[in-house]
Amino acid sequence: MHVSDDLMTDQQHLPEPRAGEKPPPGDGSTGERATGERPGGKPKKTPFRGTGFLRLWTGETLSLAGTEITFMAIGITAATTLAATPWQMGVLEAAESAAVLLLGLSAGVWADRYERRALMLVANVARGLLLFAIPLLFWFDALTMPVLYGVVFLVGAFTLLFDSAMSAYLPRLLPRGQLERANSWMEASTSVGTVAGPGLAGLLIQVVSAPVALVVDCFSYLISCFTLAGLPKAAPAPADPQDGKGEGDGAVAGAGASAGEPEPRESHRKAVLKGLLVLRDDRIQRPMILAATHFNIFHAMFFAVHTLFVLRVLGFSPGLLGATSMAGGVAGLLGASSTPFLTRLFGQGRALVLAYAAPGVSAVLVPLAEQWDNRALSIVLVSASTFTWTFAVVVNLVISETVKQSLVPDHLLGRVTATTRFVSWGCQPVGALLGGWLGGRFGLAEVMYVSAAGLLTSALWPLLSPVRALRGTEGGESEADDAPAGTTAASAGTDDDPRPKTAPPTEP
């Protein structure tokens, strides 16, 4: 599981609505929200009914299930039907990462430039058609490894486009106070898909063969399209002409719709560069992206040797390893449902610090299991490590996505999401290669201890920065909870911006 979408913005700079001001109606994408009012005028906490979120969640869940089936079925097709060599399997695995590295930044620009519901529909249709090509070519005896490389690359690219558009679309459906709960639902679906997806894929492959199983997978994407088609459109908000001219927090927080005429469309290169500059220049966002990148390097290093250690050193069977990994699915559900409570208890910033530190502690449990010749204890330690690790990562993802969607200007959300993934996921091959090399030179357990220390120290980035002071928006802390989350900054004019004119210190 990746820690990737970790864009944080200082909530002390959150603009408050002007007296008597109503949230802008937008383009119809937020008009279905059913927030209600209490007698005193305070926003009433309501379920997601009437917001369109349940449709989006259903479409995302079906898309996730399809993705889990896709990559397992393609891998088994390569190994069994095409008798792929280890090198070919490695290239196939790298094809998905190549999509993130080559197209990740562009996907963010497209998600900010074009209507987002349409992009999600296009991504689902494209993935369904690409996957249908595999059984079709199989039936005509024309399926080859280069074809699988191309399909995996393109499916990975369209998955990135879907995710970037979906992340930027969600704040147009819900008020800020409901985003944390909505992201908890999304991460719960991911956790269930991670556990149930491979099992469903295995059952389909056992019954109808791997290439034919992809036909069933195609239908998951098509059904997702029908679900998403009922959602309102959500064109991105126009960019502020002043956007990008300031520095630090002001360059991001002050971005929004301008009262003047919109500037001509910026070039693709300039749009990509703006997403990178947002992450580089803001003193809140910068430590968060560095924390995510730091974490993912050691995450990849740890899991490069994890399977070998558990199977060869601890003597687990593949079935037992799979059974212990199911603890991660349970942990993901609990983590997603517990995040609102944890943010109320600790605040978002402190909860993030703990979420970064916990996997480093849990990683030590796996090599420690070697110290005792006790199979039952080894199973408990490996399961506990998986449980704690997954719980913490899901909490991290829910909080990070919520803050990003709440405070990043609408016209930058797609680029911020894709750029964060580009930077933090792009480093993982380095960690995996380093882990494999160190494991062969010094030993598997030694690599796991080094990885644990690296994971633990990733918590220093949010701890030693203003990120630790972030607060939650769940529970009505903000008076602007009824405002569309993605339009918070966009609705504030440059002259009337009520944010403090002086920022807190860059370093604690």
- The pLDDT value given to residue 367: 94
**In the structure encoding, which two tokens stand for residue 431, read together?**
């960690």
Phi and psi torsions of 452, nearest 5°: -60, -45
**28 closest CA partner among 173, 191, 152, 229:** 173
Tens of pLDDT along 71-98?
777 877 887 788 877 677 767 877 877 7
- The pLDDT value given to residue 473: 53
Query: pLDDT at residue 271 above 80?
Result: yes
**In the structure encoding, which two tokens stand for residue 313, read together?**
């050193």
* Mean pLDDT over each residue of the chain, to the nearest integer: 74
**Does the residue 274 lie in any domain?**
yes
Helix (H) / strand (E) element for 168: namely helix 145-173
CA pair distance 500, 508, nearest whole angstrom: 18
Question: Where residue 238 falls among pLDDT bands split at 50, 70, 90?
Answer: low
- The pLDDT value given to residue 454: 95
**Does the residue 186 lie in any domain?**
yes
Count other C-beta atoms under 10 Å from residue 271's C-beta: 22
- The pLDDT value given to residue 449: 96
Query: pLDDT at residue 6 above 50?
Result: no
CA pair distance 188, 329, nearest whole angstrom: 9
Neighbouring residues of 299: CB distance < 8 A, sequence distance ≥ 6: 2, 3, 359, 428, 431, 451, 455
Query: pLDDT at residue 428 above 60?
Result: yes
Mean pLDDT is lowest, of 65-69, 438-442, 463-467, for 65-69
**62 closest CA partner among 140, 145, 110, 123:** 123
Contact 331, 390 (CB under 8 A): yes
- The pLDDT value given to residue 478: 37
- The pLDDT value given to residue 415: 83
- The pLDDT value given to residue 193: 67
Query: pLDDT at residue 476 above 50?
Result: no
For the ranges 294-303, 420-429, 474-483, the one whose mean pLDDT is highest: 294-303
- The pLDDT value given to residue 260: 46
**Does the residue 371 lie in any domain?**
yes
Neighbouring residues of 78: CB distance < 8 A, sequence distance ≥ 6: 84, 88, 89, 92, 145, 148
Tens of pLDDT along 36-68?
444 444 444 445 777 778 888 887 777 777 777
Return the HEC string of 374-415: CHHHHHHHHHHHHHHHHHHHHHHHHHHHHHHHHHCCHHHHHH
**Does the residue 191 lie in any domain?**
yes
Contact 200, 345 (CB under 8 A): no
**Does the residue 324 lie in any domain?**
yes
Helix, strand, coil share (%) of the chain residues, nearest 5: 70, 0, 30
- The pLDDT value given to residue 490: 33
Query: pLDDT at residue 22 above 60?
Result: no
**Does the residue 118 lie in any domain?**
yes
CA pair distance 123, 156, nearest whole angstrom: 10
- 126 versus 405: the higher-pLDDT residue is 126
* Count of domains for the chain: 1
**131 closest CA partner among 83, 73, 202:** 73
Query: pLDDT at residue 267 above 60?
Result: yes
Contact 80, 210 (CB under 8 A): yes
- 162 versus 488: the higher-pLDDT residue is 162
- 415 versus 239: the higher-pLDDT residue is 415
Return the DSSP state at 310. Answer: I
Average pLDDT estimate for 2-8: 39
In 200-350 the beta strands, taken as DSSP E runs, fall at: none
Question: Where residue 5 falls among pLDDT bands split at 50, 70, 90?
Answer: very low
CA pair distance 132, 145, nearest whole angstrom: 16
**In the structure encoding, which two tokens stand for residue 444, read together?**
């598997």
Contact 217, 233 (CB under 8 A): no
CA pair distance 292, 450, nearest whole angstrom: 17
Query: pLDDT at residue 423 above 80?
Result: yes
CA pair distance 328, 334, nearest whole angstrom: 10
Distances (CA, A) of 494 to 20, 117, 384, 454: 19, 30, 51, 42
Query: How many Cα atoms are found within 13 Å in the side-chain-facing hemisphere of 77?
Result: 30
- 25 versus 292: the higher-pLDDT residue is 292
Give the global pTM.
Answer: 0.68
Question: Where residue 377 falls among pLDDT bands split at 50, 70, 90?
Answer: very high
Reduce the DSSP state of residue 185 to 3 states and report it: helix
Query: pLDDT at residue 479 above 60?
Result: no
Question: Where residue 186 falls among pLDDT bands split at 50, 70, 90?
Answer: confident
Q: Domain span at residue 459?
A: 11-487
- The pLDDT value given to residue 474: 47
**Does the residue 507 lie in any domain?**
no
Q: What angle do CA 226, 132, 141 make, to 5 degrees?
A: 170
Query: pLDDT at residue 27 above 60?
Result: no
Question: Where residue 300 falls among pLDDT bands split at 50, 70, 90?
Answer: confident
**499 closest CA partner among 249, 262, 198:** 249
Reduce the DSSP state of residue 484 to 3 states and report it: strand
Query: pLDDT at residue 504 above 60?
Result: no
Distances (CA, A) of 433 to 85, 427, 428: 19, 10, 9
- 362 versus 49: the higher-pLDDT residue is 362
Average pLDDT estimate for 325-340: 83
- The pLDDT value given to residue 250: 36
- Written as one string, the DSSP assignment of 205-236 is HHHH-HHHHHHHHHHHHHHHHHHHHTSPP-PP
CA pair distance 285, 477, nearest whole angstrom: 22
- The pLDDT value given to residue 328: 78
- The pLDDT value given to residue 392: 94
**Does the residue 86 lie in any domain?**
yes
Query: pLDDT at residue 495 above 70?
Result: no
Contact 210, 70 (CB under 8 A): no
Question: Where residue 197 falls among pLDDT bands split at 50, 70, 90?
Answer: low
**474 closest CA partner among 184, 183, 177:** 177
CA pair distance 454, 467, nearest whole angstrom: 20
Tens of pLDDT along 125-174?
998 899 889 888 988 888 899 999 899 889 888 988 888 888 888 888 87
CATH of the domain at 217: 1.20.1250.20
- The pLDDT value given to residue 293: 93
Share of residues in the chain with pLDDT > 70 (%): 72
